[in-house]
Chains A and B, each alone.
Chain A
Amino acid sequence: MKKKVISICCGTGCNASGAGTLFSNLKKKLNNIKDIETEITVKNTGCHGFCEQGPVMVIKPDNIFYRQVRPEDADTIIEKSIKRNEIIEELLYEDPTTGKKIVKEEDIPFYQSQQRLLFGYNGDINPRDINDYIATGGYEALKKVFENMNQEDVIKEVKDSKLRGRGGGGFPTGKKWEAAFLTEEQDKYIICNADEGDPGCFQDRSLIEGNPHLVLEGMIIGAYAVGASKGYIYVRHEYPLAVNNFSHALKQAREYGYIGENILGSGFSFDVKITRGGGAFVCGESSALVASIEGKLGEPRDKYVRNTEQGLWGKPTVLNNVKTWASVPFIINQGAKWFTNIGTKDSTGTMVFSLTGKVNNTGLVEVPMGISLQSLVFDIGGGIKGDKKLKAVQTGGPSGGCIPENKIDIPLDYEKLTEIGSMMGSGGMIVMDESTCMVDVSKYFLNFTQEESCGKCIPCREGGRQLVEILNKITQGEGKEGDLVLIKEVSKTMQRGALCNLGRLAPNPVITTLKYFKNEYLSHIYDKHCPAGVCKDLISYSIIEEECRGCQKCIKSCPVDAISGVKKEPHSLDQEKCTKCGSCYEVCPFDAILVK
């Protein structure tokens, strides 16, 4: 009997646009069909990565890729694609550059340049069914470890793989494990950091939601290597689906004997507990995260003593990011040598980026380290939305920096990114076009880090506040000579004096934008002008008479009745009343609203 699998992405993005209803519709319809010779399974899986086109589905084994599928398409899909093997043209992805419709998932440019290691199985796995994970070779690495490897062997393999911390710091994972292994303490802990507070980042979440067992298997192997009996996974409280799926995975893994007492008869015991974060960005910092698990305020401490010596409850603790743990089973299964063949010499393996902002193909992208930013944005990302010009790419979240358009050919690895003032971070990548004001962007990030500062040390608490105040003034047209020097001085103090990386890296956005977009700052300060037309106090809206056709859409949308006029005649805008909300600009179909 022929077999077909309809794999529907039910990640948070697709779910929010109706994937859940589509799934149940398909299930219902299939239950009522008897006259068909194919065995059909509908699978709700984790994130497929191509969020921009959601909800997406793939019909296997032919890998027919449908995008923007609506719940009411269920009927047609069954009638045409399942019963009669026909392709539904309207649901196919259309390449924006060539205008051609593409049938198969692997032929879509978005997927072609990717090397999907951690996310590769997402489309085959129902995250709530451990058997799906096992079917993809899951828990084989764990068996291999128990059968053939002692603790030193595992640590050596991870060291040889040159795997580095995927949370952004890039610390060699094997080294960290070794340090914890070599301590004499009996009680040890491991922690999986799934706090992911960076705005614009969702790969950790998608991984736990879509393939929780992969992360868990990595954690169990790590626990065995360092000799830890208990693990914690610290998940953001905004991620309820991740918490649910991981809890479910824990339950199943316990039933199958992969965690708990005497795992697979090896004599090794290990269990994992889920801790929900409290919504504090600083808790992504390792010592703050540890404090938070202990039920304290998430304040970092000075780290002259590392977590691997004294971490959770004062015991040696290994803390790694979700993606780091998820890489481990691959290294064990296929060997360190195989892993070092992916990526560059010092940055091995793949990296998952959340590609967002003004780019055509928003989504999760997994690429070998060392790929150029150019290729990521244009080949995979499909270029800039609305054919606008690329201005900058912001990488590394609020602690990262902005990479200007003329540096877009840099290869993405830990060192290269740091060299030009940005960082890998946890993999957020926000594409900005010419309508983005760089002063406003750095104000946004500084505001964020300042609000999220725990307030324990003065450089971060006060320095951040000062920077925000200066930037506020600049964007309000009250910038003055000397502001830029002051920004640099305060930033230097924060970089040198702050207690943890939140404070030390917080000035990064303003430093890099100042380096690459100084003119924009100068024009705010001296000309009282915002070139991108973003900063409210420096712009005004008006109506271009020649373009206005008098359609009255702007009149209806204006919340303060600042626009008036009769039908089919040019309208006028009262500057006194205008609150610069931009509603008129949004609705005008004729580009008749001028922002100056």
Chain B
Amino acid sequence: MSINTKNVSIKVEEVNKITSKYMGEEPDYIALLQEIQDKFRYLPKDALKICSEKLNIPLSRLYSLATFYSCFSLTPKGKFEIHVCMGTACHVRKAPKMLDKISDHLHIKPGETTKDQNFSLETVNCVGACALGPLITVNGKYRGNLTVNQVDSILKELEEQVE
């Protein structure tokens, strides 16, 4: 059986399989949610419902975790997830300007996904590659030592890949 939520269809069996690993005495709900997110790239509502029923915990508890920890997302992410590093070293090397530029180009704010589901823009507090600052990661891949002006060409390159 599969349920369609927005654009991603989740397989109930898959959620069940993940959830069953966390049924011990001290279930680690954060790890459970991380695993579900790894699978679907966000936390689909129906998946959370299944977890809540199977583990017999209130759905609100899962939602509170999902909204407290920044690694979780309740909306589907785009094909390209762009994280702009906003660490101090990047900050003093003009990361905020780079963020503005990307945001202007994609017409979305940090935390949002473009309507065509191609790009998500996020900020991250520090990825720990400070010598390469300012930097962004695209689907986890580092693009360092950037200048504000390089942003356009990177985004164009990604847009071409989408098409």
Contacts and interface: CB of A to CB of B under 8 A. Distances in A.
Nearest to A51: B131
The bracket for how many chain A residues form the interface is 35 or more
Contact of B130 (A197, A298, A356): A356
Interface in B64-123: 64-65, 68-72, 86-89, 91-94, 97, 100-101, 104
Nearest to A274: B31
Contacts of A298: 68-69
The bracket for how many chain B residues form the interface is 35 or more
B62 to A, nearest CB: 10
Given A200-B88, A278-B70, A295-B29, A16 B130 contact: no
Contacts of A294: 26
B31 A275 contact: yes
A280 B27 contact: no
Interface stretch (A115-123, A254-262, A331-339, A428-436): A428-436
A430 B125 contact: no
A42 B131 CA distance: 25
Contact of A428 (B29, B70, B88, B143): B88
Contacts of B131: 13, 51-52, 54, 356, 362-363
Contacts of A358: 92-93
Interface in B27-66: 27-31, 34, 64-65
A313 interface: yes
A356 B89 CA distance: 6
Contacts of A240: 140
B29 A239 contact: no
B30 A436 contact: no
A513 interface: no
Contacts of B68: 278, 280, 297-298, 454
B88 A356 contact: yes
Contacts of B124: 238
A158 to B, nearest CB: 28
A279 B70 contact: yes
A216 B68 CA distance: 30
Contacts of B129: 12-13, 16, 51, 202
Interface string A343-370: 0000000000010111000110000000
Contacts of B128: 12, 196, 201-202, 205-206, 238-239, 354
Given A202-B129, A298-B68, A582-B148, A237 B88 contact: no
A369 B133 CA distance: 28
A537 B31 CA distance: 44
Residue of A200, A281, A357 with highest tally of chain B CB at under 10 A: A200
Residue of B29, B97, B126, B148 with highest tally of chain A CB at under 10 A: B126
Contacts, number: 147
Interface in A195-215: 196-202, 205-206
A75 B131 CA distance: 27
A356 B71 contact: no
Nearest to A242: B128
A582 B95 CA distance: 12
Given A278-B72, A559-B101, A13 B132 contact: yes
Interface in A264-294: 275-281, 292-294
Given A16-B129, A276-B31, A362-B131, A436 B92 contact: yes
Contacts of B100: 581
A202 B69 contact: no
A2 to B, nearest CB: 34
Contact of B30 (A198, A292, A587): A292
Contacts of A201: 126, 128
A200 B87 contact: yes
A441 B87 CA distance: 12
Contacts of B149: 557, 583, 586-587
A278 B30 contact: yes
Contacts of B101: 559, 581, 583
A317 interface: no
Nearest to A209: B128
Interface string B16-34: 0000000000111111001
B147 interface: yes
B136 to A, nearest CB: 11
A581 B130 contact: no
Nearest to A204: B128
Contacts of B140: 240
A250 to B, nearest CB: 16
Contacts of B93: 357-358
A444 interface: yes
A448 interface: yes
28 contacts: A199-B91, A200-B89, A202-B126, A202-B128, A237-B34, A238-B128, A240-B140, A275-B30, A278-B65, A278-B68, A279-B70, A280-B68, A280-B69, A281-B125, A295-B27, A295-B28, A295-B31, A356-B133, A357-B89, A358-B93, A362-B89, A397-B88, A428-B88, A430-B89, A436-B92, A559-B104, A581-B101, A586-B147
**The 3 residue pairs across chains A and B that have the minimum distance between CB atoms:** A278-B69, A202-B128, A51-B131
Interface of A: 12-13, 15-17, 51-52, 54, 196-202, 205-206, 237-240, 275-281, 292-295, 297-298, 313, 354, 356-358, 362-363, 394, 397, 428, 430, 432, 436, 441, 444-445, 448, 452, 454, 557, 559, 581-583, 586-587
